[in-house]
Each structure stands twice: as C-alpha cells, then as structure tokens.
Chain A
Amino acid sequence: MNKIRKSYVPFMKAGMQNLIIYRLNFIGFVIGGLIYCFVMFYLWRAVFASNGGDAFLGFSMTDMVIYLFLSNTTSQLIFSSVSNEIGEEIRDGSISMRLLKPVNTDLSYMFTELGTVFMKLVVLLIPMILGLEIYRYCATGNVMFNVGNFLLYLFSAVLAYIISFRVNLCFGFIAFYVKNLWGIGILKNSIIGFLSGSLIPLAFMPDGLRVCLEYMPFASMSYTPVMIYMGKYGTYEIIFRLGLQIVWSVLLYGLSKLIWLGAIKRLCVQGG
C-alpha cells in the first residue's frame, strides 16, 4: 500500500494537472457532449410526442432526460484515453522508455488517468447529479434522490472504469498493426457508444439484440451504473449486474495481459 502511495500518487497528480492544463480541450469535450445530449433530448421529446403517451417501455420523459444526461456524464467520467496514449507511444517508440521505469506499466497509465477521473468526478458528475435532481424535483414535485442507489452507482462506475480502461488498453495495441489512430478512435467511440447503450437505452432495442448486448462488457460501461442509479433494477438484478461487471473486469484484465505479452515480443522484434 505504501509502495503504491509513493510510486503511483505522483502519476495521479500529473493526471490532475494535465486536465487543468488541457482544460480548454476538456471543456470543449464536455460542451460537445452536452450539445449531443440536447439534440437527443429534443429528438426524444418528439418521439414521445409522436407516441402520444407519457411512458415508453417503462421510461417516462423525465426518466429519459436523466438517462441521457447521466449516461453521457458517466461515459465521460469513465472515458479512458489510454488507447490513444499507448498508440502514440508505440508509434513514436517512446513506449520503450516507459518499460524502463521501475513501475508496473498498466498501473502507471491507470493512475495518471485516475487523476483526471477524480477531477471529472468533482467538476462534472456532482454538478450534473445536482442539476438532474433539481430537474426531477421540478418535473415531478418529489425529491427522489436515493443515497443507496447513488453509492451503488459509484461502485458500479468504478467497475465500469476498470472495464473501460482494459478495453481501451486492448484497442491501443492495435497501433502495432495500423497507423491510423484517428480512424481507430472514431471506430472505437462509435462502437462503444452504440453497444454501451449511451446512445439509446438498451431497453429500447429488439429483444434478441438487447439480451445479447446486456451481457457484453460494453453494457457494463455506462448502462449498468445508470440503470442502478435510476432505480430500474431490483436487488437481485443489481447483485447480478455487479457480478457480471466483476467477471468482465477479470476477463478483460487477463485478455489485456495476454495481448501485452504478445506486444512486448513484437516490440523486441521491431527493435523498439
């Protein structure tokens, strides 16, 4: 524990500083996300209006708003840029420098990123939750904030982050084979956006597809925590979903390790 504090906390601080230095990019990113949410909001409003009803597959318009904004925020919170970083480092060869440092490579990436995750938690998630609860109060007249669900959400979001980190790590290694990281990034984001349900709630998808997606790791990345927060799951389902997240974290950990070992071999062949 002490070793972790000494060796990795500096990485975390560096991560926090990075977010401040690149704050403009970050703000752009956040505003971009919000714009997208608003487009979706209007779209759903029109969908609800065309449907003529208040509820839609168990989602009210209020639910939809919370779902849209919270799943967007959650995606940003657990967003991992490790695939870009590792890709860049592979491309310019500086990855060999990282291997020279006497720390665990994965963890050094992770802690750098945890710094930014922590900042996002403070400046992004908390205001968003506050805003959404105020909105919910105005829309329904009731305070519906549930501390238990919120804590479970946070726990689930941590697991989501670990999954996101591992998935991105695997994507990063594609840089060994393809130089077009920009294209890969777009591909990755749209795949994750769709499969994780942050674009459209998985509940709205055709049944077969829905069940399939719910078991994939992508659903664990924002759909699960958001559904927990919204109280859409009962106790058993919550336990099941969290268990699924844990299983995926372990599996993806193994997968990324395997790829990493293969990658190091390739690195030696290329001569760095």
Chain B
Amino acid sequence: MKRIWKIYRLLAAQNLKRIMEYRADFLTGAVSFLIDQAVGIAFIFIIFTQIPQLAGFTFEQILFIYGFSQIPKGLDHLLADNLWCVGYFIVRKGDFDKYLIRPVNPLFHVIAETFQVDAIGELVVGIALLIYASPGAGLHITIWTILLSIIAVPFAALIYTSLKIITASLAFWLKSSGFIIQMVYGMNEFSKYPTTIYSLPVRIFVTYIIPFAFTGYYPSLFILTGNNALFNIGGVIAISSVLFVISVFIWNKGISAYESAGA
C-alpha cells in the first residue's frame, strides 16, 4: 500500500511538472471545461427566467443538484482519465504491452499514469455552485447529512470510474472501444437533473443499470431533505462497490484476451 502510494505520488508529480511545461495547453483545457460548464449553467438560468420551479425544485435547488453532480465527475476526470486512452488507442496500438511486463497491477498503473488537471473546470464549478446555491436551497444541514454526503462523493466518482473500466475493457476484444465509453459516459447528462422528470423506464435505467442518478441526484436529495439515507447514500456505496467488482472482473478477463499489435 505504501509502495502504491509512493508510485502514485511520483507519477503525479511528474504529471504536474509536464503541465508546467505545457502551460498554454493546461490553460486551454481548464478554460474549455469551464466554458463547457458555463454553457450548462446558462441553460438552467435561461429556463428559470421563464418558470419559477422545475418538477418542484427551485432554481437554487436545481443548481445545487447540478453542482453536486459535477464533483464526482470531476474527481473521476482528474484521477482516471487515462482509461479513455485505453479504449481509444492504447490497446489498438499495442501500447498496453508495457503495463503487462511491470510488477504492478496494470489497472492501477494505467490510472496512476495520468493526472488530468483539465478536471479543475468541473471541480471548481461544482464547488462554486454548491457554495452559491446552498444558502437559498433550504438544505437540511446536520452533521450527519454533511458527513454522509461527503462520504458519498468518492463512491459516486467510483461509479464513473467503474463504468469507464468496463467500457474501456471491451477494447481488449474489439480493439477499440472509445465509442462505447463515449456513449455510456454521455449518459451522465441524466445525473444533472432530478430523476423525477424522467419516465419510469428511464428512471429505472439511470438508477439501476447505468446508475448515474447516484452520482448527483440521490445524494443531493439527501442533503436537501435529510430523508432516506439508506437509499440515497447507502445506494451510492452499494451500487458503486458492486459495479467496481464487476469492472475489475471484466478488466481481468480482458487482459487474458489481449492480442497486442503486430505479429
């Protein structure tokens, strides 16, 4: 464990050095994601110029849900961005070889290799929205709700990461699975809004199948109402753990099907 932490720190430090070297690129990345966020928020803002409430939630409450959903997303983006590359080209080009000849867990190795600072866009916006929206959102603030929802954040990020692991693993069979990652990842759109606006099949889908609802709406709902900790927070922990176990299983299966590149 200590060794893993040490390797991670070394690689992350190297990443930071690299970012300093390509400062312009880092700025473009972070600014891009910031603007992407700004557009999403402008959208909510414009909607609320026309209506007072959306599915029973006020402007501040919707912003709170939106902001909360961006934090796990940003966390995953910050720490596990390299999985995209596995799906898009690392496997196809045969560059996965090097992870297999090192005495470190390949999954850990892949993830530790990038530290994606672009994610600052999501994290900053997420936190800023929480701060901005909290006073007016009528939060149910107790030590419990705060503690439990903070605990939920890393698990919610794990939902993102696990889904990416599963979809990236498919590249071991299909050579390239970038499009599948893109497709599944794109469903995180569902996490930004209350699930009550969706029809029942969609709601079941985003709760139990591609459980993005647990990365934003449910945990936010818990702080907003203080109700149903077992489902809203327990659900995040349970579903993310199950998903992670499944993802590691598929990943390992994938490695034995890996075909490298060339003859």
Q: Report A's interface with B, CB cutoff 8 A.
A: 24-29, 31-32, 35-36, 38-39, 42-43, 45-47, 49-51, 56-57, 177-180, 182-184, 186-187, 190-191, 193-194, 199-200, 204-206
Say yes or no for B249: interface residue by CB 8 A criterion: no
Find out whether the CB atom of A46 lies under 8 angstroms from the CB atom of B54.
yes
Taking a contact as CB atoms under 8 Å apart, the answer to whether B186 and A182 are in contact is no
Q: Which residues of A contact B178 (CB under 8 A)?
A: 25, 28
**B183/A28 in contact, CB under 8 A:** yes
Which residue of B has the minimal Cβ distance to A184? B28
**CB–CB B179/A39 < 8 A:** no
* B256 contacts the other chain (CB 8 A): no
Give B contacts to A, CB under 8 Å.
22, 24-26, 28-33, 35-36, 39, 42-43, 46-47, 49-55, 118, 174, 176, 178-180, 182-183, 186-187, 189-190, 192-193, 197-199, 202
Bound: A204/B51 CA distance, A: 12
Of all chain A residues, the one with the shortest Cβ separation from B186 is: A32
Inter-chain CA distance A39–B216, complex, in Å, is 15
Beta-carbon contact of A47 and B35 below 8 Å? no
Residues of A within 8 A of B189 (CB): 35-36, 39
A183 near B25 with CB under 8 A, answer yes
Give Cα A170 to B50, complex, Å.
36
Given contacts A180-B22, A187-B28, A193-B39, contact A32 B33 (CB under 8 A): no
Which of the residues B24, B32, B49 comes within 8 Å of A190, measured between beta carbons?
A: B32
Q: With A35-B189, A51-B50, A187-B35 in contact, is A46–B29 under 8 Å at CB?
A: no
How far is A56 from B31 in the complex, measured between Cα atoms in Å? 34
**Distance (Å) between the CB of A258 and the closest chain B CB?**
23
Q: Which residues of A contact B26 (CB under 8 A)?
A: 180
* Given contact pairs A32-B186, A42-B199, A178-B28, A206 touches B55 in the complex (Cβ within 8 A): no
CB distance from B113 to the nearest CB of A (A): 16
Name the one of B30, B46, B186, B187 contacting A204, with C-beta atoms under 8 angstroms: B46
The distance in angstroms between the C-alpha atoms of A240 and B5, with both chains bound, is: 63
CA distance A236 to B179 in the complex (A): 43
Contact of A25 among B25, B33, B179 (CB under 8 A): B179
